[in-house]
Each structure stands twice: as structure tokens, then as C-alpha cells.
A and B are shown apart, each in its own frame.
Chain A
Amino acid sequence: MTALVRSFRTALLLALLLPIAACQLFSPPFDPNVGNPTTQAYQAAMQLVSEAEYGRFTEAASFTEAAQRYAAIDAQLATAKLRAEAGDGGSTRLSRRAQELLVGQLQFCRDQLKRLAETHREEGIQPAAGQTGSVRRSCDMAARAANGMAPE
């Protein structure tokens, strides 16, 4: 009898707690398929804008050589975004909102990179003209967002 009561109690606990423990209430869990490419894209973008601020790309002609680096960074961000969109957003409205916001952060970084590439193509990038900071900050936010749930 006692065993029956105990197993009933356990079953009740299971039924009550399992859905809560299993579900992501506020945010989807960390996904390395999103975090890793975003981190790599972030590092590559930092390297690129750093070179720009050191005067490597002052001529528009330098874009031809740099184009494939822009493309490579964008490809990684596109991959991360795809994975973030396809991942399980969780069962709550807030968790799905977090998923949507993360996707948005990745796209913001892509847009800033694209904007810089346009200027680069048209007239090169002049150092200390406040042209690269948007990429730096935007992709920093994207990288922090993509790794926000990473285990310590």
C-alpha cells in the first residue's frame, strides 16, 4: 500500500514538473550551430574593420580583393540565421519572441556589413571617419545575443 502511494506521488510529481522543467519559458537554449558561426563571423568582421581603420582599404579598387571576405562573413551569418529560425523556439510566446529577436540581431549585423561593403565599393573606407563602428557594435550585439545562453 505504502509503495503504491509512493509511486502515485512520484507519478504526480512527474506529471506536474516534467512539462515545466522541459520547457524553455523565456528563451530557447544555446545552439552551437547558431553561436559558433556567429562568433567566427564576428571575429572575421572585427579583423576586416580593423584593417580598414589602419588604412588598408582607402582606395575603392581594394574592394575587389576584399569582396570575398565580406561574402564569407555574410555566409556564416546567413547560416547562423537559418539555424536560429529553424530551431525550436519553445512553447511560450516569450520564448518565441526571444527566438525572433535573435534572428533579428543576426540580420542587423548582416545589414551593417552590407552597408559598409557598399561604401567600400564606391569610394573605399577612410580611417577615423566613423564608418566602421556600426559593424563593430552591431556584430558585437549579434555575437553576444547568439551566445547569451551558452553554458559558462
Chain B
Amino acid sequence: MTDLSTFNPGSADDLFRTIVREGEQALGRPIENVKAVAGYLRDLAKDSIDTASALAEGRISERAAKRAFEGRQQELLQIREFVELQALQAAQRAADAIFRVIGWAILNRTGINLAPGLVTPKSG
């Protein structure tokens, strides 16, 4: 773990790198493997810098800054679940592709369509 008590990132890039490093240590695997997640995190890091500046300049209240921060905590939860869902959806798409092949093979051999959801012969 990095000592964050003196952590004062100068740029969104700095912040992003630290988030990724800490996140990877916590997860035990590279975050960059999941492309979409890296994009979201980079964007999130930039927002965090913007909020800190806006708060420092007195453009937004502490209350609003706190709420924005809570929102980003929620986002991290959502990203974790999003990755899990994407894996399941990808597995289902793969299963569909496989059963489409099997379904066509059976239809062509027997004339019976076992997977009408996946195998859609042109009528007529």
C-alpha cells in the first residue's frame, strides 16, 4: 500500500496511475486487462481533480463535493458488478453461437428445429 496521507496528485494522470496501482494490488490482477474499466477510471480520476479544484476555488459547496465523492464510490461498486455481468453476457453469446451451429446441423439433417430462437431459416 502506498502512503496516501501525503498524497496530492498534480494531475488526473497521476491520480489515475495511483488508482490503478492500488486497485491492482487489491484485486490481485491487472485492471488494464478490462479496457472499458480503464476508460471509466481515467475519466473518474479527471472528475476527482475537477471537483477538488472547484471546491478549493469555492465554486461548489463542501456538501456538493462530498456528494460527488460518494457518487464515485458507488461507481466503483458498479464497475465491479458491470465487469461480472459482461463476463456472463459474453459467455452466453458464445453459448448461443455454439448452439446456433448445432441447431443448424440438426435442422439440416432431421428437419427439426431445436433452437428456434437461434436458428431462423428463411421461410418460403
Contact = CB atoms under 8 A, between A and B. Distances in A.
The reply to whether chain A is a binding partner of chain B is yes
Interface of A: 10, 13-14, 17-18, 20-22, 24-27, 29, 94-95, 97-98, 101-102, 104-105, 108, 111-112, 115-116, 118-119, 122-123, 126, 128-131, 133-134, 136-138, 141, 144-145, 148-149
Q: Is the interface of B mostly helix, strand, loop or mixed?
A: helix
Contacts of B77: 108
B114 A115 contact: no
Interface of A: prevailing SS: helix
Contacts of A116: 71
A126 B54 contact: yes
**Which 4 residue pairs are nearest across A and B when measured between Cβ atoms?**
A130-B47, A129-B54, A130-B50, A130-B51
Size bracket, chain B contacts: 35 or more
Contact of A18 (B64, B95, B114): B114
Interface of B: 36, 40, 43-44, 46-54, 59-61, 63-64, 67-68, 70-72, 74-75, 77-79, 81-82, 84-86, 88-89, 91-93, 95, 99, 102-103, 106, 110, 112, 114-115, 117-118
A66 to B, nearest CB: 16
Which of A18, A112, A128, A141 is most buried by chain B, counting CB atoms within 10 A of its CB? A141
